[in-house]
C-alpha cells in the first residue's frame, strides 16, 4: 500500500514563504523619480512579483523555470515555463545565448501539435522563431492551429546584449562539473525520502491491523455465505463461541500501537532530510527555539537563511534580466517614448524579520547615532525604508517644524 506524502512539496512551500513574505520590488528612474519607461517596467515586474511565491516553489520543485516576457495589446505579459520544457542551445561562458522552449501545445482533430519557440542572440541581434511540430518532429505552418495563426513566425531586434528571457535556477548543488541546469531542492536526498515513504506505509499498516472487527461463526451465515465488504465482520470456522473444552473461543491479542517508535523513526528521518538539503531544523521537525533568545533563534535558523539568501540572489538576477527584456520590448514596440533604454533602477526590499531582532538592531543604531558615529539619516532610513537622501530631507523638515513651534511658544 502506497501512502502519499507531501514531503518535497513542504520544503518547496516553506522556503518559498521564507523567501517571499513581506518583500517588495520597486522600479524607478536612476534619479529616483518616475518616468514613463520606469513605470512601464515597474508595472510589468509587479505582475510577476505578485506570483513570486508560486514561481519560487516551482523553481525549487523542478530545478528551474523560465519567465517569458511578451507584449499583448500594448500591455506587458509573461508566461512561466518549467525547466522540463526548456533546452539551452547556446552558451557564452555562463551567459545563455540560445534557448528553445515548448511554449504551448494544442490538439487539432486527433493530432497534438507543439509550438516551439527558439531564442538566439548573435552579434547583438536577438531573434525569436516560432514553429509548429507534431510528436514525430515534422514541421507545420503556424496556421495548422487556429489560435496560433496570428503569431509571427520570426522577428529580430537589434542592439540587444542578452536573451529576452529570465531563467531562475535553483541554487542547489547538482554535483556535476557543468552547472547549466538547476536541480530540485531534494536532489540527492531520494534515499531518505524513500525511507520516509516506507515509514509512513508501516505506520498506516499498523493502524490498519489494529482496526476493530466482529467475529462471526460461519454457521450464522446465509446461503450465499457472504459478509459485508466494509471489513467490520470477519468469518471464523469453529463450533461456536466456545471451544470443545468449554473455554472461550476468543483469546485477545492486543499489543499497543507502536506509535512512539514510528514517530521517533519519522522525526529522525525528517532531521536527516533537513540536514541533507542544508536547512536548519524546524521545516519538517519541531522547532527548538520556543524559549530561545533572539541571538539563539538567529543561530538556529542560520543554515535555512543561507539557502534563502542564495534563492533571493537567483531571483534578483532573474528580475534584472526580466527588467532588461521589458525595457527592450518597450523600445522596440514604441510603448513608451523612444530613447529611454536603460533609464531605470531596481531596488529589492527583502524581509529579514525572522533572522534579525528589529528591537536589537534599532537599539544598536540608536546608540551609534547618539554617540555621533553614524548619521541620523541612517537611523531614519532603516526605520522608515526611505533612501538616505529622503531620510535627510525628512529630518530637515522635522527640525524646521520643531524650530517654528519653539519660536511660537
**Looking at the structure, do residues 95 and 115 belong to the same domain, yes or no?**
yes
pLDDT at 1: 34
249 shares a domain with 172: no
388, part of any domain: yes
Rounded average pLDDT per 10-residue block, the chain, 409 residues: 49 74 87 89 95 92 94 92 94 93 92 95 95 92 92 92 95 86 90 89 81 62 61 56 53 68 87 87 73 65 85 94 96 92 90 69 85 87 80 87 67
Backbone angles phi, psi at 166, to 5 degrees: -130, 110
Q: Residue 122: which H helix or E strand, with range?
A: strand 111-122
Based on its alpha-carbon atoms, the radius of gyration of the chain, rounded to whole angstroms, reads: 31
Indicate whether 127 belongs to any domain.
yes
Look at residue 276 and tell me if it is in a domain: no
Distance CA 105, CA 84 (A): 14
Do residues 383 and 326 both lie within one domain?
no
Whether 29 and 167 map to the same domain: the answer is yes
Look at residue 292 and tell me if it is in a domain.
no
Contact indicator for 59, 168 with CB cutoff of 8 Å: yes
Residue among 346, 336, 5, 361 nearest 166 (CA)? 346
pLDDT, residue 240, reads 47
Structural domain includes residue 286? no
One domain, residues 18 and 96: yes
3 state SS of 198: helix
Is residue 284 included in any domain, yes or no?
Answer: no
**Which residues lie below 8 Å from residue 343, measured CB to CB, with a gap of 6+?**
29, 30, 35, 37, 38
Does one domain contain both 330 and 368?
no
Q: Is residue 120 part of a domain?
A: yes
Say if residue 171 is in the same domain as residue 216.
no
Buried-state track 265-296, b at ≥16 Cβ within 10 A, e below 16: bbeebbebbbebbbbbbebbbeeebeeeeeee
Q: What is the dihedral of CA 201, 207, 212, 217, to 10 degrees?
A: 40
Give the residue carrying C-alpha cell 511540430. 133
Residues 150 and 48 grouped into a single domain: yes
- The pLDDT assigned to 363 comes to 84
Same domain, 366 and 335: no
pLDDT at res. 5: 45
> Domain of 380?
358-408
- Contact present, 376 and 369 (Cβ < 8 Å): yes
Verify that 370 and 312 share a domain, yes or no.
no
The answer to whether residues 39 and 81 belong to one domain is yes
Q: Which residues pair with 249 in a beta bridge?
A: none
Question: Are residue 91 and residue 228 in the same domain, yes or no?
Answer: no
Number of domains in the chain: 3
Residue at 402 is within a domain: yes
Amino acid at each position: 500500500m502506497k501512502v502519499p506524502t507531501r514531503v518535497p512539496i513542504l520544503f518547496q512551500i516553506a522556503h518559498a514563504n521564507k523567501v517571499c513574505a513581506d518583500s517588495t520590488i520597486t522600479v524607478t528612474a536612476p534619479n529616483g523619480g518616475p518616468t514613463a519607461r520606469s513605470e512601464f517596467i515597474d508595472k510589468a515586474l509587479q505582475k510577476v512579483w505578485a506570483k513570486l511565491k508560486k514561481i519560487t516553489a516551482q523553481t525549487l520543485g523542478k530545478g528551474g523555470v523560465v519567465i517569458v516576457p511578451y507584449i499583448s495589446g500594448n500591455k506587458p505579459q509573461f508566461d512561466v515555463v518549467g525547466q522540463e520544457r526548456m533546452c539551452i542551445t547556446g552558451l557564452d561562458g555562463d551567459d545563455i545565448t540560445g534557448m528553445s522552449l515548448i511554449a504551448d501545445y494544442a490538439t487539432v482533430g486527433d493530432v497534438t501539435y507543439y509550438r516551439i519557440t527558439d531564442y538566439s542572440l548573435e552579434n547583438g541581434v536577438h531573434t525569436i522563431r516560432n514553429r509548429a511540430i507534431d510528436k514525430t518532429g515534422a514541421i507545420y505552418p503556424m496556421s495548422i492551429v487556429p489560435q496560433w495563426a496570428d503569431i509571427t513566425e520570426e522577428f529580430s531586434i537589434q542592439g540587444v546584449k542578452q536573451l529576452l528571457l529570465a531563467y531562475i535556477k535553483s541554487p542547489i548543488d547538482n554535483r556535476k562539473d557543468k552547472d547549466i541546469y538547476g536541480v530540485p531542492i531534494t536532489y540527492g536526498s531520494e534515499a531518505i525520502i524513500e525511507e520516509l515513504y516506507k515509514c509512513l506505509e508501516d505506520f498506516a499498516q499498523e493502524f490498519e491491523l489494529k482496526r476493530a472487527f466482529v467475529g462471526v461463526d460461519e454457521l450464522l451465515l446465509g446461503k450465499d455465505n457472504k459478509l459485508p465488504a466494509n471489513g467490520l465482520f470477519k468469518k471464523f470456522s469453529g463450533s461456536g463461541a466456545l471451544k470443545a473444552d468449554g473455554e472461550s473461543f476468543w483469546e485477545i491479542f492486543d499489543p499497543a500501537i507502536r506509535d512512539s517508535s514510528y514517530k521517533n523513526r519519522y522525526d529522525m528521518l525528517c532531521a536527516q532530510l533537513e540536514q541533507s538539503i542544508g536547512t536548519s531544523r524546524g521545516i519538517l521537525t519541531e522547532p527548538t527555539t520556543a524559549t530561545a533568545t533572539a541571538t539563539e533563534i538567529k543561530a538556529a535558523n542560520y543554515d535555512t537563511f543561507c539557502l534563502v539568501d542564495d534563492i533571493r540572489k537567483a531571483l534578483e538576477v532573474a528580475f534584472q534580466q526580466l527588467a532588461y527584456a521589458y525595457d527592450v520590448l518597450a523600445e522596440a514596440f514604441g510603448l513608451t517614448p523612444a530613447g529611454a533604454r536603460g533609464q531605470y533602477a531596481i531596488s529589492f526590499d527583502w524581509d529579514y524579520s525572522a533572522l534579525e531582532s528589529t528591537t536589537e538592531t534599532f537599539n544598536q543604531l540608536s546608540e551609534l547615532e547618539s554617540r555621533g558615529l553614524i548619521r541620523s539619516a541612517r537611523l531614519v532610513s532603516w526605520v522608515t525604508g526611505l533612501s538616505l537622501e529622503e531620510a535627510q530631507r525628512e529630518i530637515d523638515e522635522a527640525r524646521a517644524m520643531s524650530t517654528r513651534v519653539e519660536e511660537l511658544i
